[in-house]
Amino acid sequence: ELANRMAERAADVVKSLMKMGVMATMNQTIDADTAELVIEEFGHKVVRVSDADVEQVITQTDDIPENLHPRPPIITIMGHVDHGKTSLLDAIRKTSVVSGEAGGITQHIGAYQVKTESGAILSFLDTPGHAAFTSMRSRGANVTDIVVLVVAADDSVMPQTIEAINHAKAAKVPMIVAINKCDKPSAEPNKVRTELLQHEVVVEAMSGDVQDVEVSAITGEGLDTLLEAIALQAEILELHANPDRAAMGAVIEAQLDVGRGPVATVLVQNGTLRQGDIFVVGEQWGKVRALINDKSERIKEAGPSVPVEVLGLNGTPEAGDVLNVVETEGQAREIAEYRKAAAKDKRAAAGAATTLEQLMAKAKADQDVAELPVLVKADVQGSAEAIVQALEKIGNDEVRVRVLHYGVGAITDTDVGLAEASGAPIIGFNVRANSSARSSANQKGVELRYYSIIYDLVDDIKAAASGLLSAEV
Ligand code: GDP
């Protein structure tokens, strides 16, 4: 490979290595420093690929205002289990699949588009729930523009409802509340609205600014209103993209298909993805062999906010990986290889979990006011609230603690997911992580801190904050 890049004979490269005392065969991997020596020996110029190079290839700056056009919003549905997320997604898909007849056959590719009565196009992520949302975020793919929070009118605001609210807030994504199951005689939509108040979600019916719509996924009542509410929210967000640039997008699903090879569903976020495009996606690369939309039709191109299945990958990427179209196969391969090597280095360095101090330093570097995000789990509601109050009091103009989520009970996988996505440590007060959360925290480098005395907890965090401040002076 090295000989190839230098346009030299492989045998000469091996010979030159031998002269340096490196006994290598043609297919052996040599380290970067040795490679550098060989390159100089041949009188060539060394160009090491770095993060900055990768950035340069995949970043484009031609998104001047004139090139920007409105793009459809991308929506994720969240809420407590059994409150009707799946039913709602199904009902929406059936009412108005874009350009297909209502009730037309759609293929599950992880996302679909619908058209509202007034003509707006909306893209829905077809994987309800929080795990998908957080795992995408933790991989750097902030795909969701709007969260639809589903709450069953015959039930209450439940733990996962609160989790969803906190996820949306942490991601700074606006919410629309869908009060579902309003066809039921036992439905009490106003009770839901009042309960949401306690979680700082003030809906329009309560003179707040969060849109709320009463719906029924079963009868279809209110669905049109919900879709229009989403379209309105999207208008407020003024979402734009430049369809004329090379495409970039996020992988929402990927698998190895027996007949078709690696297949990824990509949500195009900017630009237009076309058949024949060469791209890099995470640690993989490829050339678009075919594009298939949510109605199983082969299409030639996919513009902003369009979900599309991509064939022609050389390996299977992961959900949340970012796809970038590049100019040449050489670039695509080089970036993919660079990323593979970097990921390997990172895995080797793992175990060095992020500490509270490192987080503070990073937060400080990122913005004027350092914000330390934390998650708090406690044994009882009273302690949780007392801790949150105490933590939020810490800080001044420069440092602030931000509690992303707090709750009662053991630390779970969902907590770890949210913590990872936001780079936050999890504080357990008289509770510990369950075993699966423990191993995933370990793997993801999420710091778990256990306390049984509030004073100690507050003191530790204060110390981290003030240490940082004095270092600044
Ligand atoms: P998820 O866990 O949030 O995805 O909830 P599902 O969509 O699986 O719905 C849970 C249960 O509630 C199912 O038995 C649905 O048939 C029922 N359900 C969902 N939406 C409605 C609704 O609007 N009205 C009534 N009556 N039942 C509903």
Q: Which residues lie closer than 8 Å to 29 by C-beta, 6 or more apart?
A: none
pLDDT digits (tens, 9 = 90+) for 229-260: 999 999 999 999 999 999 999 999 888 888 88
**Percent of the chain scored above 70 by pLDDT?**
85
Is residue 80 marked as binding? yes
Q: Which residue CA neighbors atom 22 of ligand 1 most closely? A: 181
Neighbours of 71 (CB within 10 A): 22
**113 C-alpha to ligand 1 centroid (Å):** 22
pLDDT digits (tens, 9 = 90+) for 56-87: 666 665 667 888 999 999 999 999 989 999 99
What's the whole-number mean pLDDT along residues 298-318?
95
Residue 218 has pLDDT above 80, yes or no: yes
Distance from C-alpha of 74 to C-alpha of 287, rounded to nearest angstrom: 26
Mean per-residue pLDDT of the chain: 85
pLDDT value for 395: 73
Is residue 181 marked as binding? yes
- Least confident window among 65-69, 104-108, 272-276, 453-457: 104-108
- In this structure, are residues 446 and 411 in contact, taking their beta carbons and an 8 Å threshold? no
pLDDT value for 45: 81
- Least confident window among 182-196, 311-325, 333-347: 333-347
Indicate the top mutation candidate among 80, 82, 85 to test ligand 1's pocket, ranked by most ligand atoms within 8 A of CB. Answer: 82
Question: Between residues 162 and 362, which one has the greater pLDDT?
Answer: 162
**83 C-alpha to ligand 1 centroid (Å):** 6
What interface predicted TM-score (ipTM) does this complex get? 0.99
Residue 405 has pLDDT above 70, yes or no: yes
pLDDT value for 62: 63
Categorize the per-residue pLDDT at 127 as very low, low, confident or very high, splitting at 50, 70 and 90. Answer: confident
Categorize the per-residue pLDDT at 421 as very low, low, confident or very high, splitting at 50, 70 and 90. Answer: confident
What's the whole-number mean pLDDT along residues 369-376?
80
Give the 3-state secondary structure of residue 242: coil
Residue 265 has pLDDT above 60, yes or no: yes
What's the whole-number mean pLDDT along residues 100-105?
48
**84 C-alpha to ligand 1 centroid (Å):** 4
pLDDT value for 365: 61
**181 C-alpha to ligand 1 centroid (Å):** 7
**Percent of the chain scored above 90 by pLDDT?**
44
Neighbours of 206 (CB within 10 A): 14
pTM for the structure as a whole: 0.70
Q: 177 — alpha (psi -120 to 50), left (phi > 0) or beta?
A: beta
The helix-helix angle for 413-422 and 159-170 (nearest 10°) equals 10
Is residue 355 marked as binding? no
**217 C-alpha to ligand 1 centroid (Å):** 7
pLDDT value for 267: 94
Categorize the per-residue pLDDT at 381 as very low, low, confident or very high, splitting at 50, 70 and 90. Answer: confident
pLDDT value for 60: 61
Q: In 3D, which of 45, 52, 49, 40 has the Cα closest to residue 13?
A: 40
Indicate the top mutation candidate among 81, 87, 155 to test ligand 1's pocket, ranked by most ligand atoms within 8 A of CB. Answer: 87
Is residue 72 marked as binding? no
- In this structure, are residues 231 and 46 in contact, taking their beta carbons and an 8 Å threshold? no
**Which atom belonging to ligand 1 lies closest to the Cα atom of 81?**
2
Is residue 82 marked as binding? yes
Is residue 240 marked as binding? no
What's the whole-number mean pLDDT along residues 94-107?
56
Ligand 1, pocket residues at CB < 6 Å: 79, 81-87, 128, 180-181, 183-184, 216-218
- Least confident window among 80-89, 217-226, 338-347, 420-429: 338-347
What's the whole-number mean pLDDT along residues 298-320?
94
Distance from C-alpha of 333 to C-alpha of 418, rounded to nearest angstrom: 33
pLDDT value for 105: 53
pLDDT value for 99: 46
Q: Which residue CA neighbors atom 24 of ligand 1 most closely? A: 181
Residue 100 has pLDDT above 50, yes or no: no
pLDDT digits (tens, 9 = 90+) for 177-199: 999 999 999 999 999 999 999 99
Q: In 3D, which of 291, 285, 324 has the Cα closest to residue 310?
A: 291
Categorize the per-residue pLDDT at 103 as very low, low, confident or very high, splitting at 50, 70 and 90. Answer: very low
What sign for the dihedral angle of Cα 114, 116, 119, 121?
A: negative
**185 C-alpha to ligand 1 centroid (Å):** 15
Categorize the per-residue pLDDT at 303 as very low, low, confident or very high, splitting at 50, 70 and 90. Answer: very high
**198 C-alpha to ligand 1 centroid (Å):** 25
Is residue 180 marked as binding? yes
Categorize the per-residue pLDDT at 473 as very low, low, confident or very high, splitting at 50, 70 and 90. Answer: very low
pLDDT value for 403: 87
